[in-house]
A = this chain, B = another copy of it.
Amino acid sequence: MQQSRSNPDRHRPAPPAHPARQASLRTHNLALVLRHIADAPRPPSRAEVATTTGLTRATVSALVDDLLAGSLLTEVSPAPRTGAGRPAQGLVLADHGPAGLGLEINVDYLATCLIDLTGTVRHHAVHRVDLRTVSPTTALTRVADLAVTARTEAAHQGLTVAGTVLAVPGLVSGDGLVRLAPNLGWRDVDVTAVLAGHPGIAPPGMTPLLVENEANLAALGELHAAPTGPRSFVHISGEIGIGAGIVLDGALFRGARGFSGEIGHLAVEPGGRPCRCGARGCLEPYAGLEAILAGAGVSGADLPAGAAVARLTRLAEAGDPATCRALTEAGTALGVTVAAVVNLLDIETVILGGAYAPLTRWLRPPVEAEITGRVLTATWSPVAVRAAVLGADAAVVGAAGSVVRRVVEEPADWLARTG
């Protein structure tokens, strides 16, 4: 496992292809059974799993035995009595087995998050600190220190950390290399190398740290928080920068090199306002948080990010005309971009996250107006625009959740590790 990530120059000519040995059947069916139990509305019995998956009861029993032995499942005895016959043993995801550790480095805080298989957040810590002023190495060391305490907390609660994912607000290319994080002032930081050997990250023999873009993980966080929601959507993280996480059929779309979703630099007015990126007319100078604050006449420079948004919502609720106008203008610009995304990808749902989430009430109308005006297919394939359910935690939650998700989708890997 992991080999496709460590070999970055194999994507052009050769299609990867593994032979299917008999163990592959087991791998597949273990995942099938576990996923089914994870998605079931109430604890299913082995027999139920058998009928709905199409496997035999015998097979399901054998597979469930393995999953129980690997601390991925728990039997819950009292299934709600229904009719005659021997009562079923309910199966649920274990809350004492593997857990995912999510880390986040952002402009003004560090965060950790520990999530167990059931999706419950078992530990969550946020550490406010300005990270623009410190070097990448110290920033990384600090977050790794926080990871140490999260790990001991995990051990305390009888959990095993199955993997660690770090969210970073920047461009991340394969194998933990942060190419550019403008708001942190980072450029070409090799996270894996810096943190190699740190006890919070890589206890000997453990899965290596994965580094991923914050907006991508926030989208995964939303998927995690609303498992019954749509399986294909775009999650837009509106902060100072604007990023998008694209989820297609339940899987994060990363693009050829992991740089997908740079929605903040789609053009909404070529030749218009200058952008930090050097181009003109990007979305960011029209719908970024700073643009909205400026349009509303709120000086956000001296405030922490959350407070500025709070003041904005207060003004908008009071009907302040400048604020409402600024939000409508931002929403229109955003809508032009969202319409482009929908035209291109035929996405069903657009989720407004980050600072946009509390502002959805005012942003949605202009966004929807642009969609209906610009998307020809909206007639047959209506597009839903809604607010994210997670707040600023989205990225850490998504980071931790992505580990859990991986364990559920590839339980054989975990079982191989536990023996």
Contacts and interface: CB of A to CB of B under 8 A. Distances in A.
Contacts of A231: 11-12, 15
Interface in A193-244: 228, 230-232, 244
B265 A376 contact: yes
A37 to B, nearest CB: 12
B381 A257 contact: yes
Copies of this chain:
2
Contacts of A232: 11, 256
Given A19-B55, A25-B22, A29-B20, A347 B262 contact: no
Interface residues of A, number: 72
A11 B233 CA distance: 12
A355 to B, nearest CB: 21
A377 B259 contact: yes
Contacts of A248: 253
Nearest to A277: B376
A361 B411 CA distance: 52
A348 B256 contact: yes
Interface of A: 11-15, 17-22, 24-25, 28-29, 32, 35-36, 39, 53-55, 171, 173, 179-180, 228, 230-232, 244, 246, 248, 250, 253-263, 265-270, 277-279, 282, 336, 339-341, 343-348, 373-377, 380-381
Given A19-B55, A171-B376, A262-B377, 7 more contacts: A12-B230, A19-B54, A20-B24, A20-B32, A22-B25, A265-B374, A340-B344
